[in-house]
């Protein structure tokens, strides 16, 4: 898989061009998460954040805290890309 293929999903994201709004604090996170609802590439976005241990912002509808909790609960998963998107992820 090439770098271009990996990044292709970002071109289809509902949040494209809204980067600053996706890194809110506190109550504003709920508003940012709403952008993710119904997004065609939500799974790819979440997999990207989980596989790369991205610790800031809202990704795939999950906050930093929610992603950390999921990673702690599911230490058995090596590739979130594989689990969430059905791709090999290697």
Binding residues: 15, 36, 39, 45
DSSP the chain: --HHHHHGGGGG-TTTT-GGGGS--TTHHHHHHHHHTT-TTHHHHHHHHHHTT--SS-BTTB-HHHHHHHHHHTTT-S-HHHHHH-----
Annotated binding residues for [4Fe-4S] cluster, as ranges? 15, 36, 39, 45
């Amino acid at each position: 898989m090439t770098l271009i293929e990996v990044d292709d999903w970002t071109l289809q994201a509902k949040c494209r061009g809204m980067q600053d709004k996706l890194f809110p604090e506190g109550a504003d996170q709920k508003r940012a998460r709403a952008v993710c609802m119904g997004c065609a590439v939500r799974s790819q976005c979440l997999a990207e954040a989980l596989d790369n241990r991205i610790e800031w912002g809202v990704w795939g509808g999950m906050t930093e805290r929610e992603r950390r909790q999921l990673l702690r609960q599911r230490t058995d998963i090596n590739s979130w890309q594989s689990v969430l998107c059905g791709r090999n992820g290697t």
